[in-house]
């Protein structure tokens, strides 16, 4: 590896091996706090080019060594944990800007570009990425694509898979793929959508051409109060049906509303909806006007800008300091995000809430909306026994995922699967679709060197 990459891009230092033993999966952070370090790479490598990625894979093939690709290691599902040891390949040094095409609103970057750098660089060109995960300060472009991420403004800008115009990737056998980056084509399966969301199990993404957007000239904030979750969701659904697409649209259930508004010094009963429209001033004013009619018709009352503006100002506060909030012995915390069509959504919400009630205090919000459905984002705080936090954590997740699958929800809306949700992949997708995924895996990575132990493969 040192011959291929240079000594400064390879490390077997014990400290590096500990650093790369985990990502931001709370289960693993809890275990480590209890002094248990379950997984460690034998070596960490930092390739700087596609050729170096291919060379590492060639060595891994020859020596049957697992390769776990990582970049910012901010994932919360264990996707970047080296379950089988071997090589951790950190792509953070592949943070090149290969092209900025302001005419076509697209850029080509390396997978190691960090969210904050991505957005700030785009802003200087009058552009926005439109992709704002709460991990904006500590996640990477490569991680977004691999985990099929969605940002907080996805209701307007779409999800990462909508932004991927082209990819370069190295397969396990060393083949380098460059997908054709035209705005669309009708020439076979969508190769971009095979690699997107594959969490490093099918190939290593080494370059991405992403669609970007004009920097918004205008921004509007609104907060609304509804009598209950069902009324608020129906208001949002009607707003979507009429064609408004707020960048932010977040409905907080009763408990989440109580805490959120209480923290602002305005305790209320009911269900809070916060909206942010951004973009062309004329168009967004029209959308907001249409949205107001839909929300009012479903029983909503406007309560000013403050709550929405406060959320906006604090929207990245949690993710990059998540490990700090696990400091209380016995306490377990996590978020669980699922999705379903409107016709199954209320049942998905109540089924999961009920299943989780014995495990944790349950808050929920609905923060990504579609014409055909929405996501649900549960925030959970549970109290276990000191030293037994991982067991309490596992029980909470089992209750959540079993309920989600039973109610026809997607086991993840935007965090991904990793090792955490792997046991539910087959039940969620069905044996048929998993057979397809496994056939694909076997065809592309017969020795199973790429990120083994993940995704239920």
Asked if 447 is part of the footprint of a copy of itself (rule: CB under 8 A), the reply reads no
Site string for a copy of itself, 383-412 (x = CB under 8 A): -------------------------xxxxx
Q: Which of residues 141-180 bind a copy of itself (CB under 8 A)?
A: 147-150, 159, 161, 165, 171, 175-180
Question: In the structure encoding, which two tokens stand for residue 223, read together?
Answer: 């907060």
Residue of 26, 56, 32, 58 whose CA lies nearest to 44: 56
| Residues recorded for the chain | 457
Distance linking the first and last C-alpha atoms of the chain: 28
Buried b (16+ CB within 10 A) or exposed e, 409-418: bbbbbbbbbb
Q: How many CA atoms lie within 13 A of 383 on its CB side?
A: 1
Q: Which part of the chain contacts a copy of itself (CB under 8 A), choosing from 54-62, 218-226, 238-246, 307-315?
A: 238-246
Q: Which part of the chain contacts a copy of itself (CB under 8 A), choosing from 84-92, 266-274, 295-303, 429-437?
A: 429-437
SS3 8: helix
Which residues are 131's β-sheet partners? Answer: none
What is the spatial distance between Cα 54 and Cα 49, in angstroms, rounded to a whole number?
9
Asked if 444 is part of the footprint of a copy of itself (rule: CB under 8 A), the reply reads yes
Which member of 185, 321, 350, 385 binds a copy of itself (CB under 8 A)? 185
Asked if 97 is part of the footprint of a copy of itself (rule: CB under 8 A), the reply reads no
330 touches 385 (CB < 8 A): yes
Q: What is the DSSP string of 386-417?
A: TT-HHHHHHHHHHHHHHHHHHTT-BS-SSS--
Asked if 353 is part of the footprint of a copy of itself (rule: CB under 8 A), the reply reads no
Residue with smaller CB distance to a copy of itself, 171 or 258: 171
* Residue 171 Rama label (left phi>0; alpha psi -120 to 50; beta): beta
Q: Which part of the chain contacts a copy of itself (CB under 8 A), choosing from 65-73, 132-140, 280-288, 381-389?
A: 280-288
Which member of 373, 382, 390, 452 binds a copy of itself (CB under 8 A)? 373
Asked if 295 is part of the footprint of a copy of itself (rule: CB under 8 A), the reply reads no
Asked if 123 is part of the footprint of a copy of itself (rule: CB under 8 A), the reply reads no
The answer for residues whose C-beta is within 8 angstroms of residue 82's C-beta and 6 or more apart is 20, 21, 39, 40, 41, 66, 68, 88
Q: How far is the CB of 271 from a copy of itself (least distance, A)?
A: 19
Q: How far is the CB of 272 from a copy of itself (least distance, A)?
A: 22
Which member of 18, 263, 289, 357 binds a copy of itself (CB under 8 A)? 289
Residue of 294, 299, 166, 162 whose CA lies nearest to 227: 299
What is the spatial distance between Cα 223 and Cα 252, in angstroms, rounded to a whole number?
11
Asked if 125 is part of the footprint of a copy of itself (rule: CB under 8 A), the reply reads no
Asked if 69 is part of the footprint of a copy of itself (rule: CB under 8 A), the reply reads no
Cβ-defined contacts of 70-73 (< 8 Å, 24+): 70/20, 70/23, 71/111, 71/112, 71/140, 71/142, 71/143, 72/114, 72/135, 72/138, 72/139, 72/140, 72/143, 73/20, 73/22, 73/23, 73/24
What is the spatial distance between Cα 253 and Cα 225, in angstroms, rounded to a whole number?
11
Residue of 150, 346, 378 whose CA lies nearest to 233: 346
Asked if 296 is part of the footprint of a copy of itself (rule: CB under 8 A), the reply reads no
Residue with smaller CB distance to a copy of itself, 181 or 389: 181
Q: How far is the CB of 11 from a copy of itself (least distance, A)?
A: 30
Asked if 93 is part of the footprint of a copy of itself (rule: CB under 8 A), the reply reads no
Q: Which part of the chain contacts a copy of itself (CB under 8 A), choosing from 40-48, 302-310, 321-329, 437-445?
A: 437-445
Asked if 370 is part of the footprint of a copy of itself (rule: CB under 8 A), the reply reads yes
Q: How far is the CB of 346 from a copy of itself (least distance, A)?
A: 11
Q: Which of residues 333-352 bind a copy of itself (CB under 8 A)?
A: 339-343
Site string for a copy of itself, 193-232 (x = CB under 8 A): xxxxxxx--x--------x-xx------------------
Asked if 84 is part of the footprint of a copy of itself (rule: CB under 8 A), the reply reads no
Residue with smaller CB distance to a copy of itself, 10 or 240: 240
Which residues are 290's β-sheet partners? Answer: none
Buried b (16+ CB within 10 A) or exposed e, 243-258: ebbbbbbbbbbbebbb
149 touches 158 (CB < 8 A): no
Residue of 397, 411, 383 whose CA lies nearest to 326: 383
Which member of 34, 120, 228, 243 binds a copy of itself (CB under 8 A)? 243
Q: How far is the CB of 205 from a copy of itself (least distance, A)?
A: 13
Q: Which part of the chain contacts a copy of itself (CB under 8 A), choosing from 14-22, 263-271, 358-366, 421-429?
A: 421-429
Q: Which part of the chain contacts a copy of itself (CB under 8 A), choosing from 132-140, 247-255, 262-270, 442-450?
A: 442-450
Asked if 277 is part of the footprint of a copy of itself (rule: CB under 8 A), the reply reads no
């Amino acid at each position: 590896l040192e011959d291929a990459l240079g000594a400064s891009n390879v490390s077997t230092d014990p400290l590096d091996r500990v650093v790369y033993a985990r990502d931001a999966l709370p289960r693993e952070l809890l275990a480590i706090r209890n002094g248990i370090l379950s997984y460690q790479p034998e070596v960490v490598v930092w390739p700087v080019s596609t050729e170096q990625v291919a060379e590492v894979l060639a060595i891994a093939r020859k020596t049957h060594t697992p390769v776990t690709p990582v970049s910012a290691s901010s994932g919360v599902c264990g996707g970047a944990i080296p379950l089988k040891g071997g090589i951790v390949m950190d792509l953070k040094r592949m943070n090149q800007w290969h092209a900025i095409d302001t005419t076509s609103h697209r850029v080509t970057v390396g997978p190691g570009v960090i969210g904050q750098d991505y957005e700030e660089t785009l802003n200087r060109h009058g552009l926005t990425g439109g992709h704002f995960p709460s991990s904006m300060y500590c996640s990477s472009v490569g991680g977004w694509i691999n985990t099929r991420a969605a940002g907080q403004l996805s209701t307007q800008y779409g999800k990462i898979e909508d932004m991927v115009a082209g990819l370069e990737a190295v397969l396990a056998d060393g083949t380098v793929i460059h997908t054709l980056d035209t705005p669309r084509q009708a020439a076979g399966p969508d190769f971009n959508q095979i690699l997107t969301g594959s969490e490093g199990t099918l190939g290593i993404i080494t370059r991405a051409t992403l669609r970007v957007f004009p920097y918004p000239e205008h921004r509007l904030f609104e907060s609304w109060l509804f009598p209950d979750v069902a009324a608020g969701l129906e208001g949002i659904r009607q707003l979507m049906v009429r064609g408004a697409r707020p960048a932010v649209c977040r409905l907080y259930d009763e408990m989440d509303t109580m805490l959120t508004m209480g923290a602002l010094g305005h305790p209320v009963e009911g269900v809070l909806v916060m909206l942010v429209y951004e973009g062309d001033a004329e168009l967004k004013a029209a959308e907001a006007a249409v949205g107001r009619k839909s929300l009012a018709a479903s029983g909503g009352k406007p309560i000013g800008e403050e709550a929405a503006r406060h959320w906006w100002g604090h929207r990245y506060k949690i993710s990059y300091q998540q490990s700090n909030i696990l400091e209380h012995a016995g306490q377990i915390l996590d978020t669980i995000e699922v999705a379903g069509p409107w016709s199954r959504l209320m049942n998905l919400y109540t089924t999961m809430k009920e299943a989780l009630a014995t495990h944790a205090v349950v808050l929920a919000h609905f923060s990504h909306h579609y014409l055909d459905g929405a996501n649900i984002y549960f925030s959970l705080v549970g109290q276990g026994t000191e030293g037994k936090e991982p067991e309490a954590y596992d029980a909470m997740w089992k209750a959540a995922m079993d309920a989600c699958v039973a109610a026809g929800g997607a086991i993840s809306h935007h965090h991904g699967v990793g090792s955490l949700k792997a046991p539910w992949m087959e039940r969620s997708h069905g044996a048929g679709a998993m057979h397809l995924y496994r056939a694909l895996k076997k065809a592309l990575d017969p020795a199973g060197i790429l990120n083994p132990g993940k995704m239920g493969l």
